[in-house]
Chains A and B, each alone.
Chain A
Amino acid sequence: MILARSADCGPGLPFAAVVALRYLRSTRRDSFVRFLSLVACGGLAVGVAALILSLAALTGFQDALKEEILSRTPEVAVDVPPDRDAAEVAVAIAGVEGVLGVRRSVEGRGWILSEGRVRSVLLEGFEGALPESYAEAPSRGPGVYLPERLAASWGLEAGDRVEIASNRPTLTPLGPQPRVLRRPVAGLYRAGRTEQEDRLALPLADAGRLLGPLTERVEVDAGGLERAQRVATRLADVLPEGVTVRTWRELERGLFFALRLEKSVMFVALSLIVGVAALALVADVHLVIAAKRAELGMLGTLGASPSALRRVFLLFGAGLATVGGGVGLALGLSGAHLLDRYRLLRLPPRVYFLDHVPFTVRLADVAVILLVSLGLSLACAVWAAGRAAALTPVEALRR
């Protein structure tokens, strides 16, 4: 019976926690304290929710972008200089543990010509079947493949003949002559939405004729992006000097750096909201200390040490930060889930490479957001609580 009654005072809780909890509850009674507490909690909640939603949207976009760009990037690329036999290197690579497949390719610049029209294109010579990076092609046999949008604007179809010219001329006694091949269009493919330049796929032998001796690339299928590094390490051990081995991560290093930078800058910018809310928390804690000044003085006379009084307001601030952070977490996670699931934020597909804003929540992002928000709030609460510890009972009790 006796202990049950004590439960209202916080059974087993230390003195500082009991007082902090009561002061947190008391914010309901004092309208000004309530207002400031709401501002501090609300600010933190908005800050945390904004950080979660923004980073989730950014992560969603970045994942989609990475997915598309990586679909055109080999898992491991081995560049073979012109003085080496790429076919031999490819055979050597195929024998390495973890390699599921190899494809030789070559890349250079050129033009496509048809009925007096000309356009600059990226020439990609490939060995064997058309690579998967050329999406939605009706057939994958050797031949020339054009992007759908180029074919549509020029009125070309499969079977039409086009001329392909290289930017490498052949030197003849009559002067430099362009290297031109006339070939039928084998099929059309759908270009990725982030592709800025038209790519033209053609058989490796034709590419060799047009581009001459060039650094050839052997694209390696390592069975997944995460296995690429392991396979690349093995390849580097067995391949001769002069041959360069790079993983998809190294090939797109600039992109990944830019994406990381973008995310970091956005995180710092949005953390300012949390910073402002944390300052509101300082104001709130200060106000409560001012309002409870005489009570704090009395607690001092009763034997509460300065460190105990500091703990009271540290816990008070931590309580507000936890409530604000918790509300922000719930808002951010549920918001991101709903926005992603029901695709509520639509985008004009002609402008963007996606038709909606995707939201991807990463646990690590949420952990960092909570850590920074609560850390900042607690640091501010420590600062504010120092004022309670600095009060002497005599000063506090003076009317």
Chain B
Amino acid sequence: MSVGVSVRGLEKAYEDGARRVEVLRGVDLSVTAGERVAIVGPSGSGKSTLLHLLGTLDRPDAGTVEIGGQAVGELTGSRLAAFRNRTIGFVFQFHELLAEFTALENVMLPGRIARRPLGELEERARELLEEVGMTRRSDHFPSQLSGGERQRVALCRALILDPPLLLADEPTGNLDPVIGDRVFDLLVELQERHGTTAVVVTHNPEIARRCARLLSLENGFLHDGNR
């Protein structure tokens, strides 16, 4: 299952002391269901800010974000959290796995938040870990895993509830190129197999090239990156 994403006139600015930094100045974006889109841009261009706004983690100063026809600006508190839980999967540069939980338990966390039946949840988590070659490491704690393994666990965690939208912020940024490529291969494979819509923020041109559409964020505006 996948959803389309529609962004209109998105603006976001930060106060830096007395200075106002306008990060996004009117971003428009349409992502069709099942599409894989890469957003590139120099450091500080606002890629992560855009991803946070798409992921309902932050609120824009102006503009709207619609995911699967739902205007996310209308949601607050528990309803927003529940929407995020069932609609969006996140993969960040830093995996942020919970140190006290095993790989398997980390993958199960979104399902536990959603109060899914445990047996069903564990079965699904094991399937995902198997898909990324982590079956034998499922009972290990994050501190016992390598960087690539942790990111694979984070990927499984993002997909455990089959979210229609996957947002990835520099998913391989913390890994060496070989491991990074392998992790991104897995991400692409899983995204295509599950038909998930994906928006990937990266400054890695190789990764960006592997997305169906490339967009570039410069000076607060989003451009077609293929031009």
Contact = CB atoms under 8 A, between A and B. Distances in A.
A and B part of one assembly:
yes
A368 interface: no
A6 B109 contact: no
A397 B167 CA distance: 15
A351 interface: no
A6 B97 CA distance: 18
Interface residues of B, number: 36
Contacts of B110: 302-303
A369 to B, nearest CB: 33
Interface string B47-60: 00000100101100
Interface stretch (B25-33, B82-90, B191-199, B218-226): B82-90
A301 B115 contact: no
A314 to B, nearest CB: 16
A219 B5 CA distance: 93
A394 B81 contact: no
B123 interface: yes
A8 B55 CA distance: 31
Interface in B38-91: 52, 55, 57-58, 77-78, 81-82, 84-86, 90
A297 interface: yes
Nearest to A21: B100
Contacts of A18: 112
Contact of A303 (B52, B86, B97): B86
Contacts, number: 96
Contacts of A5: 104, 122
Given A3-B119, A394-B52, A394-B57, A305 B96 contact: no
Given A9-B101, A26-B99, A301 B108 contact: no
B119 A6 contact: yes
A298 interface: yes
A299 interface: yes
Contact of A302 (B99, B109, B123): B109
Contact of A2 (B82, B102, B109, B122): B122
Given A2-B123, A26-B99, A303-B85, A12 B78 contact: no
- The residue among A3, A26, A298, A394 with the most chain B CB atoms within 10 A of its own CB is A298
B98 A295 contact: yes
13 contacts: A2-B119, A2-B122, A9-B112, A12-B118, A15-B115, A299-B113, A303-B82, A303-B85, A303-B86, A303-B114, A305-B77, A305-B78, A394-B58
Interface of B: 52, 55, 57-58, 77-78, 81-82, 84-86, 90, 92, 94, 96-102, 104-105, 108-110, 112-115, 118-119, 122-123, 126, 157
Interface of A: 2-3, 5-6, 8-9, 11-12, 14-15, 18-19, 22-23, 25-26, 294-295, 297-308, 392-394, 397, 399
